């Protein structure tokens, strides 16, 4: 079994791409089974994960599906899990995701 500290170190070694706040579509089910679909700004993206800024929180361990350029016919759905959700001083939330392999 891997040490969780190693995962943190590995994630930080992945180079991150500044997405210049490109819009991304996100869908998920909340704890009550309510479906959500929103467009939000993607701050950065890496081989292992991504980070967005959004108006409301998404609970840690929530499974989500991302789609970049959703209206493009070759756009793929990318599954991920929320690994952190931090409230910012502007009242929005910085939400980090780990991509599924």
The CATH number for 22's domain is 2.40.10.220
- Reported pTM: 0.74
Tell whether the model's pLDDT for residue 9 goes beyond 80: no
List the domain range (segments joined by +) for residue 34.
Answer: 4-99
DSSP codes of every residue in the chain: ---HHHHHHHHHHS-EEEEEEEEEEEEEE-TTS-EEEEEEEEEEEESSEEEEEESS---TT-EEEEEETTTSTT--EEEEEEEEEEE-TTS-EEEEEEE--
Tell whether the model's pLDDT for residue 2 goes beyond 50: no
Write b or e for each residue in 43-65: b if 16 or more Cβ atoms lie within 10 A of its Cβ, otherwise e. bebeebbbbbebeeebeeebebe
How many structural domains is the chain composed of?
1
pLDDT for 42-85, tens place per residue?
888 777 788 888 898 999 999 999 887 667 677 788 899 999 99
């Amino acid at each position: 079994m891997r040490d969780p500290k190693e995962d943190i170190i590995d994630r930080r070694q992945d180079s991150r791409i500044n997405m210049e706040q490109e819009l991304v579509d996100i869908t998920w089910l909340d704890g009550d089974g309510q479906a959500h679909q929103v467009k939000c700004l993607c701050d950065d993206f890496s081989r292992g994960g991504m980070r967005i800024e959004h108006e409301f929180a998404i609970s840690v361990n929530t499974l989500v599906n991302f789609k970049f350029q959703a209206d493009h016919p070759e756009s793929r759905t990318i599954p991920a899990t929320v690994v952190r959700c931090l409230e910012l001083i502007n009242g929005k939330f910085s939400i980090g995701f780990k991509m599924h392999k």
